């Protein structure tokens, strides 16, 4: 039987990437809602079998500048209060943390590029175990405190909260495991050109790392998502 995954997307090129294949393999029908294009407020928080909120270049605290974030936070709060399967990536994870009453603030530095995670004991016993020693894509500055009742799964040298899980159904990922191998990174380099120039980021370093790590990351990320989906529990 098919299931429904609703995906909130903030930038056209920051889509599900390699996660789409895994979701289809698990019989999900995928429906995108694009912030600023579709009416986010019309999403029923409890109807989708799975809700995924993707990344974007704004802050979870920018609700006055971007009112649709209030709708996302409302949906997340209702949904997570009922322990419905919810996955957030980057901004999505930050919004989940805020909806769970955690604090969010700018981190000590921007983290852009590929590097591996340091998995906690809980992380090594979670679906993130498939990412052990695997460089993943980081692209953020904001960071959040660990929500009450959640487990910290991973960190890096400049970000204490790279992933959290609350029960089996709620997973927030600060990093980007979903980026597809091949030329997907080029759209990110174009779309975030101003930020990259301002931060003096070497584009060819990201390109080369994407080519070096992209295929292995795609395989590892697919295994991670597949295990997480397989372990979801009825609310």
21 within domain boundaries: yes
How far is Cα 4 from Cα 30, in angstroms, rounded to an integer?
6
Out of 15, 72, 90, 138, the active site residue is: 90
Is 235 a domain residue?
no
Asked if 206 and 114 count as a contact pair (C-beta separation under 8 A), the reply is: yes
Catalytic entry in 176, 192, 213, 218:
176
18 is catalytic: no
**Tens-digit pLDDT profile for residues 154-207:** 999 999 999 999 999 999 999 999 999 888 999 999 999 999 999 999 999 999
Q: Are 129 and 154 in contact (CB under 8 A)?
A: no
Q: What is the pTM of this model?
A: 0.97
Q: Which residue out of 178, 192, 213, 218 is catalytically annotated? A: 178
Give residue 80's pLDDT. Answer: 98
Q: How many domains does the chain have?
A: 1
Residues with Cβ < 8 Å from 136, sequence gap 6 or more? 114, 115, 116, 117, 175, 176, 177, 217, 221
Does 235 have pLDDT greater than 80? no
Structural domain that includes position 112: 3-230
Band of residue 234 on the pLDDT scale cut at 50, 70, 90: confident
Residue 134 counted as domain residue: yes
Instruction: With respect to residue 135, please indicate whether it lies within any of the assigned structural domains.
Output: yes
Residue 116 located in a structural domain: yes
d(CA 202, CA 218): 23
pLDDT at 108: 83
pLDDT digits 0-9 by tens, 21-65: 999 999 999 999 999 999 999 999 999 999 999 999 999 999 999
Q: Supply the CATH number for residue 38's domain.
A: 3.40.50.880
The pLDDT tens digits for 94-131 are: 999 999 999 999 888 899 999 999 999 999 999 999 99
218 in active site: no
Distances (CA, A) of 193 to 50, 199, 202: 32, 10, 11
């Amino acid at each position: 039987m098919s299931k429904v995954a609703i995906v909130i997307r903030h930038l056209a090129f920051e889509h599900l990437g390699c996660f789409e294949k895994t979701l289809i393999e698990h019989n999900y029908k995928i429906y995108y809602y694009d912030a600023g294009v579709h009416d986010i407020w019309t999403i029923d928080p409890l109807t989708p079998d799975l809700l995924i909120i993707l990344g974007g270049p704004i802050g979870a605290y920018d609700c006055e500048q971007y009112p649709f974030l209030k709708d996302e936070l409302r949906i997340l709060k209702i949904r997570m209060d009922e322990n419905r399967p919810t996955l957030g990536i980057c901004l999505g994870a930050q919004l989940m943390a805020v909806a769970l009453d955690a604090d969010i603030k700018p981190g000590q530095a921007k983290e852009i590029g590929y590097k591996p995670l340091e998995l906690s004991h809980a992380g090594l016993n979670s679906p993130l175990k498939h990412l052990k020693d695997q460089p993943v894509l980081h692209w953020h500055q904001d960071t959040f405190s660990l929500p009450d009742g959640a487990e910290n799964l991973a960190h890096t040298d400049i970000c204490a909260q790279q992933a959290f899980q609350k029960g089996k159904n709620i997973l927030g990922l600060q990093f980007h495991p979903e980026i597809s191998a091949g030329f997907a990174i080029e759209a990110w380099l174009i779309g975030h050109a101003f930020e990259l120039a301002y931060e003096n980021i070497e584009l060819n370093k990201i390109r080369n790392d994407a080519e070096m790590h992209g295929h292995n990351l795609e395989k590892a990320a697919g295994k991670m998502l597949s295990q997480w989906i397989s372990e979801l529990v009825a609310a």
